[in-house]
Amino acid sequence: MKNIIVVKNLGKDFKIRQNKNILTGLWNPDYRSMPAVKEVSFTVHSGESLALLGPNGAGKTTTIKALTGLIYPTRGEISVLGFTPFDRQSEYLRQIGLLMGNKAGLNWDLTARQSFYLSREIYGLEKEACDKKVAELAELLAVTHVLDVPVRKLSLGERMKLELISAILHSPQILFLDEPTIGLDIVSKKKIRHFLREIQERYKVTIILTSHDMTDVEKVCDRVIVINKGEKIYDGTVEKLVDDYNEDKIVKFYFELTPENLEKIPHSEIIEISEDSATFKVKTEHMPKLISHITSDYPVLDIDILATPLEDIIEDLFKK
Amino acid sequence: MKAWGSKIKIALRLLRASTINTFQSETAYFGNNWGNLVSTIFYTIVQILFINVLYSRVTTFAGYDKNEMFFLLFVSQLGFYFHWAFGNMNHKLLIEDVRRRTLDFLLILPVPALWYVTFRKIPLLSILRDGVPNLIILGLLINWSILPLTTINVIFAIIVFFLGQIAWEGFAFLLLLPVFWQGDSKQIYSLNYTLRDSENVPWEGYRPVFQFGLSVLIPTLLLAMIPVSVALGKSDGFIMLGFTFIIALIFLSLKRRLWRSALQNYTSAS
């Protein structure tokens, strides 16, 4: 498949002023260079959905901003859809959309429909086609009833859904999403995730997403790039990440009455215990032994083998 | 040529759309903004009183009689509202956008960013509400029939006025740019209000060194003093047109150059 994003040795340093003293600072400013992204390379092909993961300050948002042309990279090369993002060519900007979960793009004092009018003019969209698309997307996200309400009067969930419509109204080829579900309730999160999958399939949009919510990643993305301290530490599918780095398994045993002395079972750790169940965390290679040990010694009613949450896998990856 | 025509067409279409959006925003808080009208009327009355007091003791000031002084005040106020609509409001918005990192949403749009941040909000309703009553008051005070205006001088003066506005907008824009490096520039930007105060003395009232400083380095005299001097036939229209054209060009190119540099320093934020 065709690569539409090519990033080679991307690096971005931020200059941080050290001396705040007005006199010395004015005549002899002292700046410290802090690398936000040290060296990151990757490619993305058309129609892919990619998650950039990493702890706060890892460099994922900086990477997204360099891809969208918002910040100027210190080193390296970026090509998106054949354009250099920072040139901010109109032809390039027409083909991308950006949604930032922690910032408001819609005008606070206007209704979403009024803001969409400006977007329509900016992107030169046909009125009928645009109105039809707004209606279609608003219905998918269940926000038709708030299209004519001033944005300042909306809930965060409603506002984010409308921000999302605004970001894709012009049918971008690539949609950049920076923490799209931050602060939302579970229902809104589910709706947005479902919507993103839907538009990816329906409009063949390439999605680049950053999120701290692993469910966003699991539900929306096929591929993950993990960045830590400005460097790429993993690049592959979500399934491969789980397979490669999932060294632990979670095993839950159900009993009539949970027996005592379970803590003494070797090579395992009890992470939860109740009257009728006990949950163990165990290395994958020790799992058969654990099951065999417990089923032979105690009257087990049922067993659940649970996958380690993606959060835990990523956390382990960062520790390594 | 065709490409330029298309660009201008798009620019005008966007200008219309953003002006409609601004109008809709203004109506959202319209009831809250009457304070501006009170403030500007108070300012105009104080200025009228000052001119009356001044001319109770003298018949001319720097070669200007009372009627010409009112005309100067009229043009000066016209320039003030013009700059407020096409510069000041958007400058303040830009400072806030950089501070809050919401400039991202503007930079992502497929429009020339500098053009868009300069013209994105034109507060027509506020200008009508705050500017027009003042201009009517001043217009009624002037005895237009005795002003020595000629058609050619007025045409020169109008062009000089617009060039002066371009130069001043460029100058004020430079004052806001430190926000990209320092994180704030509201205090530096407020200098543009202070420096504008020097526009209430006629061009002819300044010594050459101040005429130079306040038109070339800080182009405040281009806003009203020089256009009025040209309109009244006190300065050569052709020379002043060339002069203001060069100054406007310098500030416009400085604005473009430093904007590019500022964008390279824009850090955005997560």
Domain contains B81? yes
- Residue A63 pLDDT greater than 80, yes or no: yes
Q: Determine contact, residues B255/B94, Cβ cutoff 8 Å.
A: no
Q: Does A61 lie at the interface with B, CB-CB under 8 angstroms? A: yes
Band (B63; pLDDT cuts 50, 70, 90): confident
Rounded to the nearest 5 degrees, what angle is found at the Cα of B127, between the Cα atoms of B215 and B64?
A: 40
Please give the DSSP secondary-structure letter assigned to residue A6: E
End-to-end CA distance of chain A: 33
CB-nearest to A71 from B17, B18, B268 is B268
In chain B, the percentage of residues whose pLDDT exceeds 90 is 43
B148 pLDDT above the threshold of 90: yes
In a domain, B270, yes or no: no
- Least confident segment among A10-24, A188-202, A233-247, A281-295: A10-24
Least confident of A24-38, A64-78, B51-65: A24-38
| CB contact at 8 A, A303 and A267 | no
Mean pLDDT of B240-261: 96
Contacts of B28 in chain A (CB under 8 A): 109-110, 150
How close B102 gets to chain A, by Cα (Å)?
Answer: 7
Supply the Cα-derived Rg of chain B in whole angstroms.
20
Torsion over CA: B143, B149, B151, B156 (sign) = negative
**Lowest-pLDDT range, A77-81, A313-317, B49-53?**
A313-317
Is residue A316's pLDDT more than 80?
A: no
Q: Which phi and psi (to 5°) does residue A282 adopt?
A: -145, 150
Q: Does residue A143 carry a pLDDT above 80?
A: yes
Q: Is B184 at the interface with chain A, CB within 8 A?
A: no
- The number of domains in chain B is 1
pLDDT for A291: 87
Query: pLDDT tens-digit profile of A84-131?
Result: 999 989 899 999 999 988 777 888 888 999 989 988 988 989 999 999
Given CB atoms, is B20 within the 8 Å cutoff of chain A? yes
**Residue B35 C-alpha, separation from nearest chain A C-alpha, in angstroms:** 20
State the average pLDDT over residues B61-80: 90
DSSP of A228-289:
ETTEEEEEEEHHHHHHHH--EEEEEEEESS--S-GGGSTTEEEEEE-SSEEEEEEEGGGHHH
The answer on pLDDT for A27 being more than 80 is no
- Average pLDDT score over residue span A204-229: 87
Angle at B15 between CA B13 and CA B16, to 5 degrees: 65
Contact status, residue B16 vs residue B113, Cβ threshold 8 Å? no
Which residues of chain B neighbour A122 with C-beta distances below 8 Å?
14, 17, 109-111
For residue B156, pLDDT beyond 90:
yes
Q: A71 and B266: CB-CB below 8 Å? A: yes
CATH number for A248-319 (one of 1.10.10, 3.40.50, 3.40.1130, 3.30.70): it is: 3.30.70
pLDDT band at B129 (very low <50, low <70, confident <90, very high): confident
Judge whether B203 lies within some domain: yes
**CB A115, CB A106: distance < 8 Å:** yes
Cβ atoms of A45 and A4 within 8 Å: the answer is: yes
Token digits of residue B99: 């501070």
Q: Which residues of B touch A150 (CB under 8 A)?
A: 28
pLDDT at residue A21, rounded to an integer: 66
H helix or E strand, kind and range, residue A312 = helix A310-319
Q: How confident is the model at residue B58 (pLDDT cuts 50, 70, 90)?
A: confident
Residue B32 has pLDDT above 80, yes or no: no
Radius of gyration from C-alpha coordinates of chain A: 24
Q: What is the pLDDT of residues B1-16, one digit of tens each?
A: 667 777 788 788 888 8
Q: How confident is the model at residue A190 (pLDDT cuts 50, 70, 90)?
A: confident
Q: Report strand pairing: A174-178 vs A96-100.
A: parallel
Instruction: Tell me what pLDDT residue B1 has.
Output: 66
Residue A24 pLDDT exceeds 70? no
Are B23 and B30 a contacting pair, CB within 8 Å? no
Least confident stretch, A25-29, A46-50, A131-135: A25-29
Q: CB contact, 8 Å: A166 with chain B?
A: no
Question: In the prediction, which pLDDT does B217 show?
Answer: 93
The dihedral region occupied by B266, where left means phi > 0, alpha psi between -120 and 50, and beta the remainder, is: beta
Contacts of B24 in chain A (CB under 8 A): 109-110, 114
Residue A148 confidence (pLDDT) above 60: yes
C-alpha distance from B81 to closest chain A C-alpha (Å)? 23
CB of B266 within 8 Å of a chain A CB? The answer is yes
Q: Please check the confidence at residue A203 and state whether its pLDDT lies above 60.
A: yes
Contact A124 B10 (CB under 8 A): yes
More confident: B197 or A65 = A65
Neighbours of B169 (CB within 10 A): 24
Structural tokens at position B34 = 């009457």
Label residue B217 exposed, middle or buried (CB < 10 Å: 0-12, 13-18, 19+). Answer: exposed
Please give the average per-residue pLDDT across B111-135, as a whole number. Answer: 86
Count of pairs with CB atoms under 8 A, one residue in A, one in B: 81
Contact with chain A for residue B31, Cβ under 8 A:
no
pLDDT confidence of residue B44: 83
* pLDDT in the model for residue A147: 93
> Does residue A205 surpass a pLDDT of 60?
yes
Enumerate the residues of chain A whose CB falls inside 8 A of the CB of residue B102: 103-105
Nearest chain A alpha carbon to B17: A118
Q: Contact A98/B104, CB-based, under 8 Å?
A: yes
Only one residue has tokens 């740019």, namely B177
State which fold the A3-243 domain adopts: Rossmann fold (3.40.50)
For residue A147 the two structure tokens come to 């299209």
Task: Give the span between the Cα atoms of B204 and B125, in whole angstroms.
Answer: 36
Q: How far is A175 from chain B (nearest CA, A)?
A: 12
Residue B169: domain span: 2-265
Q: CA of B107: which chain A residue's CA is closest?
A: A70
Looking at residue B101, its amino acid is R
User: Which pLDDT belongs to residue B45?
Assistant: 87
Q: Which of B103, B104, B266 is best to mutate for the A interface (most A CBs within 10 A)?
A: B104
pLDDT at A33: 82
Do B157 and B228 contact (CB within 8 A), yes or no? yes
Instruction: Enumerate the β-bridge partners of residue A96.
Output: A174
DSSP string, B38-51: HHHHHHHHHHHHHH
Residue in B250, B222, B122, B114 with CA at minimum distance from that of residue B176: B114
Average pLDDT in the B55-79 region? 89
Percent pLDDT > 70 in chain A is: 95
Phi, psi of A105 (to 5 degrees): -95, -30
Q: Where are the domains of chain A?
A: 3-243, 248-319
